[in-house]
Amino acid sequence: MDKGKVSTFIDSNGIATISFLHPASNSFPSDLLHKLTSEINHLSSLYAVSVVVLKSEGTGAFCAGASFDELLSISTEQDGILFFSGFATVINAMRNCIKPIIGRIHGKAVGGGVGLAAACDYTFATNNSAVKLSEIAIGIGPFVIEPAVSRKIGKTAFIELTLTPTLWKTAQWAKEKGLYTEVFETVESLDDHLKNFTHELSTYNPEALVEMKKVFWEGTNHWENLLYERASISGRLVLSNFTKQALEKFKR
């Protein structure tokens, strides 16, 4: 449990629910990102699965992004590139998955967590699901997730998020900008609507859903290279003196 887990449950209607959990506010070390990527790729290939739900466990944050402990341990540029490529791989897996992915965003999302929400095709959130991109405050930036986030909320809103790294934006702000599709007062209400929505979605022609998924992500094939190019930027910046000093402050 200290290293977290990724698990999947498939119900009789072909609705697959991927759950992830990590004791550090549902953050992602590299190995957990690899497991999530593998699970998404596997579900995409299963004929019996029609819809995928992505959620995290617990009652706290939805996802705090990449593992801070692992970030602190980076000592070479190659290690940095590999580290930041983790979210690139997950976002590309979500983009390439032929099944619609529905996000259950029950709590706050930071950094890579915002990227995961943006890479979902439809999202349910609660009023507690505030968002923040904190990367530039430590000398790097949300380079890898930018294409996914900007695709949902536009470049202007992305700039607003990026240049206010210490400020939380409300769930209603995220809904107005297009990151969240629906926002509810409580987790219970969210789950009721999510259950009804996914059940109905699972009754539709699976071939039509596959074709619509292609339409949703038109014009993103270049992400296969782009996201890894962005990872190399972060991999270089994480070794800068500014970032090292900023990370030292967080360690104290």
Supply the pLDDT for residue 188: 98
Q: Which CATH superfamily is domain 5-201 in?
A: 2-enoyl-CoA Hydratase; Chain A, domain 1 (3.90.226.10)
Q: pLDDT tens for residues 220-250?
A: 999 999 999 999 999 999 999 998 888 777 6
User: What is the per-residue DSSP string for 158-208?
Assistant: HHHHHT-TT-PBPHHHHHHHTS-SEEESSHHHHHHHHHHHHHHHTTS-HHH
- Return d(Cα 233, Cα 83) in angstroms, integer: 12
**For residue 2, pLDDT beyond 80:** no
Q: Tell me how many degrees the CA angle 175-158-174 measures, rounded to the nearest 5.
A: 10
Q: Where are the domains of the chain?
A: 5-201
**For residue 68, pLDDT beyond 90:** no
Tell me the average pLDDT across 140-159. Answer: 98
Supply the pLDDT for residue 3: 82
Supply the pLDDT for residue 251: 62
- Return d(Cα 83, Cα 93) in angstroms, integer: 16
Per-residue burial over 91-104, b = 16 or more CB atoms within 10 Å of its CB, e = otherwise: bbbbbbbebbbbbb
**For residue 44, pLDDT beyond 80:** yes
Q: pLDDT tens for residues 78-116?
A: 999 999 999 999 999 999 999 999 999 999 999 999 999
